[in-house]
Amino acid sequence: MFFQFHDLATAKDRLSLIMQYAVRGKVRIREDPSVIFHFHQSLRSFILAGYILRKKKSGKRAAQSLPVPNSPLVQGSLSEEEYRDPVLVFCKAFKEYRPAQFLDFLAEVVYFSLGTFNHVPEGNIVGPYLHLCKMLDAAWLMAERKASADQRQTGDSTESKESKEIHVV
């Protein structure tokens, strides 16, 4: 659902921009605050959905037959193992941080990016940021694989319908 409203590149760029402005302090992000708020709300839902997703059996949906891509650009920030089984990314992220910690991180960086302050966010904001970037890559990969499988399935059912029609005639 997240990728119906945000494409991967824009989402990662916007998250990176929010991080940059959050640590600058006295400079406010130039983007419309309503856009940032909408993105914040979308990421909150994404994080909570990812927490539920991590309960799914890792490896259950993994396509072990998938080759690791030749180009690291296709793989994104994922390791070979994570590329084969993207659910691992969510398992690792939520093993290290609770959902509330991700939501606190998100609220903090958005808050500091939208205002001009003399101080910057406290605590570790790099760890959750890196995990969130990897989760975006993993979720995008899962969505692409599902769309590809659905397309193959639709194509197969269309072909079988056409072949049945040919046999009937």
Helical residues (DSSP H) of 7-125, grouped into ranges: 8-24, 33-53, 72-75, 80-84, 87-96, 99-113
On average, the pLDDT of the chain sits at 84
Q: Is the pLDDT of residue 78 over 60?
A: yes
Q: Where in the chain are the domains?
A: 2-160
Q: Is the pLDDT of residue 66 over 60?
A: no
Question: From CA 121, how far away is CA 94, in angstroms rounded?
Answer: 21
**What confidence category does residue 62 fall into, taking pLDDT thresholds of 50, 70 and 90?**
very low
pLDDT, mean of residues 100-108: 96
Q: Is the pLDDT of residue 33 over 90?
A: yes
Please tell me the predicted confidence (pLDDT) of residue 45.
96
Say what angle helices 99-113 and 33-53 make with each other, to 10 degrees: 170
Please tell me the predicted confidence (pLDDT) of residue 56.
75
pLDDT, mean of residues 114-142: 91
Residue of 79, 2, 97, 88 whose CA lies nearest to 44: 2
Around Cβ 163, how many Cβ atoms within 10 Å?
10
Q: Which residue has the tokens 């910057």?
A: 120
- Inter-residue contact 21 to 27 (CB < 8 Å): yes
- Inter-residue contact 108 to 125 (CB < 8 Å): yes
Q: Is the pLDDT of residue 70 over 80?
A: no
